Structure 1
Amino acid sequence: MATVIRLTRLGRKKKPFYRMVVTDSRKRRDGGWVEAIGYYNPLAETPVVKFDAERLKYWVSVGAKMSDRVAALTTSK
């Protein structure tokens, strides 16, 4: 299974909230996922990014690829 770490969209119209998840790369953006490892709230006064660094490191070590957005969010922290 080709796994990828990416954001899945939650929230309502014009009020996005994203969950950082590990999923099969062939699934849709909001399809099922294997594990949720964090979240991203871009609409807070200061955008909030929280994630479990240990789990992120584990998934990358077993071959999961990070999406461009997840890579940018996790390295800026």
Structure 2
Amino acid sequence: MAVHIRLARAGTKKTPFYRIVVADQRSPRGGRFIERLGTYDPRRTEIRLDVPRVRHWISNGAQPTHTVALLLKHPALAQAAAPADAAK
């Protein structure tokens, strides 16, 4: 079973809102998922993410989609993901 970290669309017409989820690649975009890892609001450019769970899934072989990979490289997340000891 191939597992992907991808976006699941929520929100209404012309007001997109996405959940960042771990899902089987065969399930539909807004359909069944294994675990919800966070949210992405493109209108506010706001990303909320459970970074330890993302690391867990990637270490277990989950493949992020291209869009999610770009979101994971976002500077705000890089600061939040840095360990507290590295900031000293």
> Please, what TM-score do these two structures have when normalized by structure 1?
0.94
> Which residues of structure 1 form unaligned runs of 5+?
none
Larger Rg: 2
> Which residues of structure 2 form unaligned runs of 5+?
78-88
> Please, what TM-score do these two structures have when normalized by structure 2?
0.83
Task: Name the amino acid aligned to 2:62.
Answer: A
CA RMSD across the alignment: 0.6
Structure with more helix by fraction: 2
- Higher RCO by CA contacts (8 Å cutoff, separation 6 or greater): 1
Task: Name the amino acid aligned to 1:67.
Answer: T
- Partner of residue 23, structure 2: 23
Structure with more strand by fraction: 1
Q: After the TM superposition, which segments of 4 or more aligned residues of structure 1 sit over 4 Å from their partners?
A: none
